[in-house]
Structure 1
Amino acid sequence: MGVGTSVLAIDAGNSKTDVAVVAADGQVVGAARGGGFQPPQVGVEPAVDVLAEAVTRALAQAGADSVGHVSACLANADLPVEERELARALRRRGWGTSVRVHNDTFAVLRAGLLEDAEPRGVAVVCGAGVNCVGMLPDGRTARFPAIGRISGDWGGGGGLAEEALWHAARAEDGRGGPTALREALPAHFGLPSMYALIEALHLGHIAPARRHELTPVLFATAAAGDAVARSLVDRMADEVVAMATVALTRLDLLDEETPVLLGGSILAARHPQLDNRVRALLADRAPKATPRVVTARPVLGAALLGLDDAGAPPETHARVRSHYEGGTPAHRG
């Protein structure tokens, strides 16, 4: 690859996919949105078929059949072996001369770095799940398997919802202490009790995917002062900072001024209790870290990573960033 390479940027999460075609000069000439990317549930090729639908529309809008380089940041690309397998699957589609696959957390990291910054920092994403990565300009990275409890993970939106249900169920049947979650969780679905909610979830009367709706209920209950809910929010902050601190340590960045980018729906919402605790803990454990909330669309990060691979000049990076940020920063202190 070299300067002047067009890029197909793909950011594929569990629930949706964003695609952008970036011309060699940094102009975004095609874009599309598609469904979620879930190879563990449907298999690699059917999952890539979902990407293909959005990619085909974006390339058609750009008036192209293929590009010079494909930069794909994909959910469920949690291990290097999975990245390699998915890269092979994308190469078979013939969308670009070269292909590079990253875990989707790298898109948040690259999108959140300042416009004139080199690719150096750490990102923690807390959305449906939780993950953390770090990168240095020399190509070194820090990452976690981030595949659930078997890899030591706790929290994220799904995990918080499960914890809230657990505490609420035990509050109702007497095995646990009192918590306002006992009333708040079933009330969200118009149900009178935790027993009724447990039954509805177990029998499929409430779709499993709707459990994520309970995470905002947890935060609202915590904000109202419930001790159990507040303890879960505090633990989520502890997990975010633990991951960030480990990544900084692995990359020898703990004693250097380093951005720590906070992304995903839960961290981007800036719930005061969570946000304040994350910042306080980082100030104590990694005082030179600079936390920033990333609100830019992660497909920007996928595009910038592709331009990095292509050796594109700074003005090309700036042009694609301006397209997504409207000329204003998409991160906050």
Structure 2
Amino acid sequence: MTAHPASADPAARGPIRLAFDGGQSALRVRVIPDGRTGSGPGFTHSANSIQATVDAVRAAADQAGVTGPVEVAALGLTGFPKDLPTAEILAKSIAETLRATEVRLTQDMVTAHAGALPDRYGVVLAAGTGVVCLGIDRDGSWYKIDGHGYLFGDAGSAFAIGRAGLVAVQRARDGRGPATALADTDLDPIALYPSPTLVDDVARFAPVVLRRAAEGDPVAHDIVVRAAGELAETIGAAIGSLAGQGQVPVACVGGLFDGAGDQLAEPLRAKLPSRAELIVAEGNSLDGAQRLASGPPGPYDELIVTHHA
């Protein structure tokens, strides 16, 4: 993205608000109210993940040309800390680096839900490099499904599809598996092992799998159908957590669905429980972060760690 000159920053007119969407591939920021954007590195599992997240926030803000004081910053992060004390440390560190009066920190599943179903009952599945699902009941109770990371979860994610595709490539090249058009790539999967961005690198093979599935490659088709089944299972678990027997609005968002086409959507629809009512999301995770930055947290209040400078 193109950085904006400091002269374009609205700081001269008063404090601004910032909305952040932090995934495994990238961390994005939107400046409110003028809509300028920037990006920084995505989340990686590392011993210094707090400092890495703060650095990514700073990089994204710099790219967006943020130079003035920040009134509120709302962040939905894949790398949201597992324990409250660490989350509070991260929120304080972000407040300091942004010179923000208030920081609202939460998981990326919350901003995905706020963007897709603002102030509404239902289930949102966010599928990109990883997968996480959030169901909110009519009484405000909430249920998180998956979001367990690439080793122990993220079933049906771009990483899972990309990994299955690269396994199929190696099996075909070894003669241990069926021939597949997926093997028509210059990529050497073994060369990815030392990459510091391994998860993102593997996930970037998912569009190749989806494209080959659309072209009729049976191996790629089977991978996509299995992924759709995993996603449907996750949605079904979220729906099963909600009270009653009526229809539940379900929105699917995230980079995995961008350009995936019917080869993913059709098997997903076929495997969903009867209570699922697929609807079009009203917005994306960055839109959700903007809603959390622009007004009161509302039904997401207990899912947000707030720091006041």
Q: TM-score category by the smaller chain?
A: 0.7 to 0.9
Q: SS in structure 2 opposite 1:111? A: helix
Name 2:266's counterpart in structure 1: 276
**Aligned equivalents of 2:199, 2:232: Cα separation in 1:** 29
Counterpart of 2:36, as a letter, is A
**Does the 8 Å contact 2:130/2:159 carry over to 1?**
yes
Name 1:118's counterpart in structure 2: 119
Identity of counterpart residues, as a percentage?
26
Name 2:50's counterpart in structure 1: 44
Is 1:29 the equivalent of 2:19?
A: no
Taking a change above 3 Å as real, the CA distance of residues 295 and 248 of structure 1, as seen in their structure-2 partners, is same
Task: Please report the TM-score for the alignment, with normalisation by the length of structure 2.
Answer: 0.76
Unpaired segments ≥5 residues, structure 1: 23-27, 192-196, 312-333
Taking a change above 3 Å as real, the CA distance of residues 37 and 95 of structure 1, as seen in their structure-2 partners, is farther
Name 1:71's counterpart in structure 2: 74
Name 1:236's counterpart in structure 2: 227
Q: SS in structure 2 opposite 1:77? A: coil
**Aligned equivalents of 2:185, 2:131: Cα separation in 1:** 24
**1:189-228 pair list within 5 angstroms:** 189=186, 197-198=188-189, 200-201=191-192, 210-228=201-219
Deviation at 1:210, TM superposition (A): 4.2
Q: SS in structure 2 opposite 1:144? A: strand
Counterpart of 1:119, as a letter, is R
**Aligned equivalents of 1:111, 1:235: Cα separation in 2:** 27
Unpaired segments ≥5 residues, structure 2: 1-14, 299-309
Is 1:20 the equivalent of 2:30?
A: yes
**Aligned equivalents of 1:172, 1:57: Cα separation in 2:** 43
Name 1:107's counterpart in structure 2: 111
Task: Please report the TM-score for the alignment, with normalisation by the length of structure 1.
Answer: 0.71
Moved more, 166-175 or 297-306: 166-175
**1:178-197 pair list within 5 angstroms:** 178-181=178-181, 184-185=182-183, 187-189=184-186, 197=188
Moved more, 7-16 or 123-132: 7-16
**Aligned equivalents of 2:218, 2:63: Cα separation in 1:** 49
**Aligned equivalents of 1:100, 1:198: Cα separation in 2:** 39
Deviation at 1:236, TM superposition (A): 0.8
Q: SS in structure 1 opposite 2:205? A: helix
**Aligned equivalents of 2:226, 2:232: Cα separation in 1:** 10
Counterpart of 2:235, as a letter, is A
Taking a change above 3 Å as real, the CA distance of residues 273 and 304 of structure 1, as seen in their structure-2 partners, is same
**Aligned equivalents of 1:103, 1:88: Cα separation in 2:** 16
Name 1:90's counterpart in structure 2: 94
**Does the 8 Å contact 2:70/2:99 carry over to 1?**
yes
Is 1:290 the equivalent of 2:296?
A: no
Deviations 1:234-260 (A, max 9, x none): 11111111111111222326x233321
Deviation at 1:32, TM superposition (A): 2.8
Counterpart of 2:135, as a letter, is G
Taking a change above 3 Å as real, the CA distance of residues 60 and 126 of structure 1, as seen in their structure-2 partners, is closer
**Aligned equivalents of 1:78, 1:237: Cα separation in 2:** 29
Cα RMSD, aligned residues only: 3.3
**Aligned equivalents of 2:50, 2:18: Cα separation in 1:** 19
Is 1:146 the equivalent of 2:147?
A: yes
| Bigger helix share | 1
Deviation at 1:213, TM superposition (A): 3.9
Taking a change above 3 Å as real, the CA distance of residues 11 and 138 of structure 1, as seen in their structure-2 partners, is farther
**Aligned equivalents of 1:44, 1:260: Cα separation in 2:** 32
**Aligned equivalents of 2:252, 2:29: Cα separation in 1:** 22
Count of residues in Structure 1 that have an aligned counterpart in Structure 2: 281
Deviation at 1:96, TM superposition (A): 3.5
Is 1:159 the equivalent of 2:138?
A: no
Taking a change above 3 Å as real, the CA distance of residues 278 and 84 of structure 1, as seen in their structure-2 partners, is farther
